[in-house]
């Protein structure tokens, strides 16, 4: 995989996605989407290359109703043909979160059984996966590379170097609808109990697990339950300040 990172790491957006989808990982690549505030841009880029690329949505059973309706709308508009709704194991929920309140006492564990483990199962058979993280989200994402090896798979963040305005412009130019909650003040949208509105001067992800140290959701954790921290950006786009 090293040669792919070295040869394509300077690219981003569709320029990066096309060779990965059509050549290097043909039929072996998936997009993970929360169908949240910025998701439409990346979904559109992937669909414009190949709308049959599998799109994995982790249904934690804690999402806003608005997110599910938005998902349906985007699936129709972009004609995505392989959207996979992945749910946690019923046995895990029954054993560890029968009351549905684990997010209050052990959010990391809740993410582990509702996101990390289901994603691990959903990614079996894929050599690469695409996510929508960006450097402007701040925190551990500030030095995000466009590609990195995680748990033996290539993890791709083609919009790592995009600014918030780039996303807004892309969505406007391609006539993509906003998530209905963005107009209500939500700039990053995940599970309902762990998502709050953000102030205009705050980081876009400040409303996620607001008031807690936790800043990343389960899917950006390794399967062993450890947070993946970016310490050595490989293939980052020059000018990111990392
Ligand atoms: Fe649970 Fe909150 Fe993580 Fe969703 S974001 S899986 S509700 S802790």
Q: What is the pLDDT of residues 55-105, one digit of tens each?
A: 999 999 999 999 999 999 999 999 999 999 999 999 999 999 999 999 999
CA of 88 from ligand 1 middle (Å) equals: 12
For residues 46 and 222, give the distance between their C-alpha atoms in angstroms, rounded to a whole number.
25
Evaluate if residue 53 carries a pLDDT over 50.
yes
Evaluate if residue 26 carries a pLDDT over 60.
yes
pLDDT confidence bin for 199, thresholds 50/70/90: low
As a dihedral over the C-alpha atoms of residue 17, residue 20, residue 23, residue 27, rounded to 10 degrees, the angle is -100
% the chain with pLDDT above 70: 82
Atom index in ligand 1 nearest the CA of residue 110 equals 1
Whose alpha carbon is nearest atom 3 of ligand 1? 111
Res 231: pLDDT: 36
pLDDT confidence bin for 126, thresholds 50/70/90: very high
Res 206: pLDDT: 64
Cβ partners under 8 Å of residue 32, min gap 6: 55, 56, 58, 119, 129, 130, 131, 219
217: annotated active-site residue: yes
Q: Name the residue ranges covered by the structural domains of the chain.
A: 2-194
CA of 196 from ligand 1 middle (Å) equals: 13
Convert the pLDDT of each residue in 104-116 to its tens digit: 999 999 999 999 9
Give 3-state DSSP helix, strand, coil % of the chain, rounded to 5.
Answer: 40, 10, 50
Question: Residues enclosing ligand 1, CB less than 6 A?
Answer: 60, 62, 103, 107, 110-111, 114-115, 190-191, 193-194, 217-218
Evaluate if residue 217 carries a pLDDT over 50.
yes
Evaluate if residue 47 carries a pLDDT over 70.
yes
For residues 124 and 24, give the distance between their C-alpha atoms in angstroms, rounded to a whole number.
17
Question: Which is the catalytic residue, given 110, 143, 217, 242?
Answer: 217
Res 200: pLDDT: 65
Res 103: pLDDT: 92
Stronger pLDDT, 123 or 218, i.e. the higher one: 123
Number of neighbours of residue 52 by Cβ within 10 angstroms:
12
CA of 126 from ligand 1 middle (Å) equals: 25
Res 242: pLDDT: 54
Res 201: pLDDT: 65
Evaluate if residue 181 carries a pLDDT over 70.
yes
Q: How does the average pLDDT of the chain come out, rounded?
A: 87
Secondary element (H or E) of residue 155: strand 153-156
Res 52: pLDDT: 98
| DSSP secondary structure code for residue 194 in this structure | G
CATH number, domain 2-194: 3.40.50.620
CA of 52 from ligand 1 middle (Å) equals: 29
């Amino acid at each position: 995989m090293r040669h792919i990172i070295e040869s394509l790491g300077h690219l981003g957006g569709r320029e990066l996605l096309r060779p990965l989808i059509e050549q290097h990982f043909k039929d072996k690549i998936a997009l993970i989407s929360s169908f949240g505030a910025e998701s439409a841009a990346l979904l559109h880029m992937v669909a414009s290359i190949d709308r049959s690329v599998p799109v994995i949505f982790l249904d934690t059973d804690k999402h806003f109703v608005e997110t599910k309706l938005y998902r349906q709308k985007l699936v129709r508009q972009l004609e995505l043909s392989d959207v996979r709704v992945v749910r946690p194991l019923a046995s895990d929920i029954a054993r560890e979160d029968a009351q549905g309140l684990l997010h209050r006492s052990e959010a990391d564990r809740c993410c582990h059984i509702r996101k990390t483990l289901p994603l691990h199962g959903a990614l079996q058979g894929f050599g690469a996966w695409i996510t929508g993280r960006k450097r402007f989200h701040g925190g551990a994402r500030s030095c995000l590379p466009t590609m990195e090896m995680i748990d033996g798979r290539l993890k791709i963040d083609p919009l790592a170097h995009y600014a918030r305005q780039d996303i807004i412009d892309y969505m406007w130019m391609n006539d993509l609808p906003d998530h209905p909650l963005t107009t209500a003040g939500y700039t990053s949208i995940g599970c309902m109990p762990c998502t709050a509105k953000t102030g205009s001067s705050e980081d876009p992800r400040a409303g996620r697990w607001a008031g807690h140290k936790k800043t990343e959701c389960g899917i950006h954790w390794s399967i062993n339950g450890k947070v993946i921290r970016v310490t050595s950006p490989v293939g980052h786009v020059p000018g990111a300040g990392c």
